[in-house]
Amino acid sequence: MDWSDDAIVLNARAHGESAAILEVLTREHGRHLGLVRGGASRRFRAVLQPGNSLKVEWRARLSEHLGGFTVETTSARAGAVMESHDALIGLNAMTATVGLVLPERAQCPAVFEASVILLDALAEDGLSHWGPLYVRWELGLLEALGFGLDLSKCAATGSREDLRYVSPRTGRAVSGAAGAAYADRLLLLPAFLLGAQNPVLPSDIALGLKLTGHFLSERALRPNRKELPPPRIRLDSLAARESQ
């Protein structure tokens, strides 16, 4: 069996004396692993950095085998991302999260496309620029997993106005009036998630990450006895500091 696809490097680890096990997110074949012969060498070190985009070709005798990758760099953005401490935190959070929650080999082209946009933003500017995009990326990840949130109208009244909260149980929006008596039990809904015309306040990125992190934990991870990965928690800490 063989196929070729566009891919984003999520992780690479040494295997034996000279090879590497490469984990990628592909456009058409989901999160996929394969062996790169010579992948532990100096020649491949810069190529297999998380965040880089590759053209990969996968070959195996049977579909269930690990198989092997041949790779070609199409965007070596990892170096630019690593020049920024904050961007590196965002990159590590993204690759760790998608590697943990996406089932292996499950097709998810929308997540791939959104990940390319996020990675390009990480390479260009600071948290205030790519932070809201990261929150939207996690909302899209939840949607791809079948756990999408309904932020279109109030769960209690049906109103589309004054949406301020999200129910931590149902993932549905709640208006300010309907949620006022239960505000301490609801998650705050940053206005920028309701439309691009709404400004992003200094605290909104931290609030957005708290929102998406809750549902990733409760719906995608804890049922499988997993927790948010440490790189994602470091992103929470970064956003909290920036909001002060």
What number is the average pLDDT over the span 52-64?
A: 93
pLDDT band at 123 (very low <50, low <70, confident <90, very high): confident
pLDDT band at 200 (very low <50, low <70, confident <90, very high): very high
What number is the average pLDDT over the span 223-244?
A: 95
pLDDT band at 126 (very low <50, low <70, confident <90, very high): confident
Residues 105, 118: Cα–Cα separation, whole Å: 21
Identify the pLDDT of residue 1: 82
Q: What is the pLDDT of residues 175-186, one digit of tens each?
A: 999 999 999 999
Say which residues have a Cβ less than 8 Å from residue 48's Cβ, sequence separation at least 6: 9, 12, 20, 22, 36, 39, 71
Domains and CATH numbers, the chain: 2-76 (2.40.50.140), 80-151+189-242 (1.20.1440)
Percent of the chain with pLDDT over 90: 91
State how far the alpha carbon of 186 is from the alpha carbons of 44, 166, 173, 176, 177, in Å: 48, 6, 10, 11, 13
Q: Looking at the predicted structure, is the pLDDT value of residue 125 above 80?
A: no
Identify the pLDDT of residue 111: 98
What number is the average pLDDT over the span 55-77?
A: 93
Q: What is the pTM of this model?
A: 0.95
Residue 128: CB atoms within 10 Å: 12
Residues 63, 104: Cα–Cα separation, whole Å: 13
Q: How much is the CA Rg of the chain, to the nearest whole Å? A: 19
Q: What is the pLDDT of residues 2-42, one digit of tens each?
A: 999 999 999 999 998 899 999 999 999 999 999 999 999 98
Chain centre distance of CA 194: 20
